[in-house]
Amino acid sequence: MSTGLHMKGVERQVLAATFDRVARSVKHFLAVVDELYDLGIESVSAWENIDTSGAMGRMFAVMVSSIAELDRSLIAERIKARMRPCRLEGYRLGRTPLGATVEIHSLRLAVHWGTPNMGGPLVTAGGLVFIAAAWDRDFRAFDVETGKELWNFRLPASANATPMTYRLRPDGRQFVVIAAGGHCKLGSKLGDAVIAFTLP
């Protein structure tokens, strides 16, 4: 979110890209909106084109937050449902360290304890998690249920980005694409490559 102008005589607003990013529950969303309202600040969503200055805007804002809470709850239910059989089969579930420190400008040691991440994962219907958000140059695929690394590709530069996927036709091959541009502030190697991979 970004705050509006606070100069005297200028309307005060908080602009959010979308209301479902402000909070992931109705209770939390209403608490944020009410606190801003008490301060004389209206909430505006750029994506939904909703503001809370009127009754209709407040109603639609609550509807959007309800859908966001539903989405969050459904994701949590699906994850728990898939984790249960994995535990019964003896899989160890938990966080998998992501990234090695070899690409960090001030520390040229390949320590695999994980690095800060910039970018998100792509999860396929078949249960693969593709991610290239770490500071190193590796594009990885994990099993969504076990966390085991199944595939790794060394990019020409770190991606620090979220992959995308597409098909040219409904029955065609599925492609996974990543942009490997590096990051100047991290001191990593820069690049301009966009690489596509096909899924088997």
Domain parsing of the chain, residue ranges: 2-88, 101-198
| Of 9-13, 50-54, 188-192, the least confident | 9-13
DSSP 9-24: TS--EEEES-GGGT-S
Q: What is the pLDDT of residue 163?
A: 95
Question: Would you identify the CATH topology of the domain 2-88?
Answer: Rossmann fold (3.40.50)
Q: Choose among 41, 53, 43, 9: nearest CA to 23.
A: 43
Query: What predicted TM-score, i.e. pTM, was given to this entire model?
Result: 0.53
Q: Can you give the pLDDT at residue 153?
A: 95
Least-confidence region, from 19-23, 43-47, 104-108, 177-181 = 104-108
**The two domains 2-88 and 101-198 share their CATH topology (first three levels equal):** no
Spatial CA neighbour of 72 closest among 126, 120, 35, 21: 21
Portion of the chain with pLDDT greater than 70, in percent? 84
Q: How far apart are CA 143 and CA 126, in angstroms?
A: 9
Task: Spell out the CATH class of 101-198.
Answer: mainly beta
